[in-house]
Structure 1
Amino acid sequence: MFAQSPEELVPRDRLLSLSGLEFLQGIRDGELPQPPIARTLNYRLVEVEEGRAVFRGAPRFEHLNPIGSVHGGWYGTLLDSAMACAVQTMLPCGATYTTLEYKVNITRAIPTGMEILCEGRVQHAGRSTGISHGEIRGTEDGKLYATGSTTCLVIRA
């Protein structure tokens, strides 16, 4: 299930009534809508546990840059999603986050249509910041296609 309009996004009071892990479990289980960006970039949340989030996806023709390779922004958005959601799993009710910065290292090109897994894992979950790292790997070949790291600001309501 994907949100089709702003009215279909999770209301803020509902978001704040759940822990970060509960919120993401609801998305994974289809009880809450996947974010609109997931439809745009052809990925979805498939696994979530404390300190870890995994997305599955495949780049499409629409994600190519002018020279015909998958745009670096596709890698970056998937890594940002997985790494930041890993931090979100550590948040209590009433807290949210925003990405302060992230870094991406692309190690090889992903062919259009190839399915990947993008995993984020928390390295530090503090009161005001969370730090995590991520990897994009091919589902069939297991090869590493990109890595990343992020720092998130924790926002307490």
Structure 2
Amino acid sequence: MTEIERGKSAGRSDSWMRLEEAARATFWGYLGCEVVQADSRQSLIRLKLRPEHLNLLGIVHGGVLASLMDNAMGLVVMIGSPDDKTVTANMNIQYLKSANSGTLSCEARLVHRSRRSFTLQSSIYGEDGDLLAWGSGSFRLVI
């Protein structure tokens, strides 16, 4: 169980339910992401690994992990600034451990917000609770 799951109930919010529904026809839906909890400060999303998420070594592809982090952090930003368009400006990821099956959980937390930018951190956990990757990202408003 992740820190967000321990600290919050997984009640569904209308704002992110609408976002998730709209995203089903995009890369989000293609990956298979599912929102568990989200608000303007943090989010928790999950991804059940499928064979197409793996690389030739039989482990989850780093790009899938990066996309999972980008989606979790971006969700916080979209909820926190619903009337604005935002883009990922930078992401840094540390790959710590591999996985090849099960469900991944990715949590993201807002670290700092200014008038035009957001800074977040994110962690991905395997089904056994092991930390697989840690990262940070900055997002900016498109003006």
TM-score calculated relative to the size of structure 1: 0.74
Q: 1:35 to 1:137 in 2, by over 3 A?
A: farther
CA distance in 1, matches of 2:135, 2:100: 19
Gaps of 5+ in 2: 1-12
Q: Answer yes or no: is 1:73 the counterpart of 2:63.
A: yes
Q: 1:35 to 1:80 in 2, by over 3 A?
A: farther
Q: 1:98 to 1:42 in 2, by over 3 A?
A: same
* Structure label with greater radius of gyration: 1
CA distance in 1, matches of 2:25, 2:114: 25
Q: Answer yes or no: is 1:97 the counterpart of 2:86.
A: yes
Query: Is the CA contact 1:87–1:125 (under 8 Å) kept in the aligned structure 2?
Result: no
- The structural deviation recorded for 1:155 is 2.7
Aligned to 1:61: 51
CA distance in 1, matches of 2:15, 2:85: 11
Q: 1:74 to 1:122 in 2, by over 3 A?
A: same
Q: Answer yes or no: is 1:126 the counterpart of 2:114.
A: yes
Query: Is the CA contact 2:53–2:60 (under 8 Å) kept in the aligned structure 1?
Result: yes
Q: 1:84 to 1:99 in 2, by over 3 A?
A: same
1:99-146 CA-partner distances (Å, limit 9, x unpaired): 01101111111122x11211111001111110000011124x221111
Letter in 2 for 1:103: N
1:26-45 CA-partner distances (Å, limit 9, x unpaired): 235x5x45352223222222
Gaps of 5+ in 1: 1-20
CA distance in 1, matches of 2:80, 2:19: 16
Aligned to 2:95: 106
TM-score calculated relative to the size of structure 2: 0.80
CA distance in 1, matches of 2:27, 2:36: 15
How many residues were matched structurally?
131
Letter in 1 for 2:93: V
CA distance in 2, matches of 1:153, 1:58: 29
CA distance in 1, matches of 2:27, 2:35: 12
Letter in 2 for 1:148: G
- The structural deviation recorded for 1:147 is 0.8
- Cα RMSD (Å): 2.0
Aligned to 1:153: 140
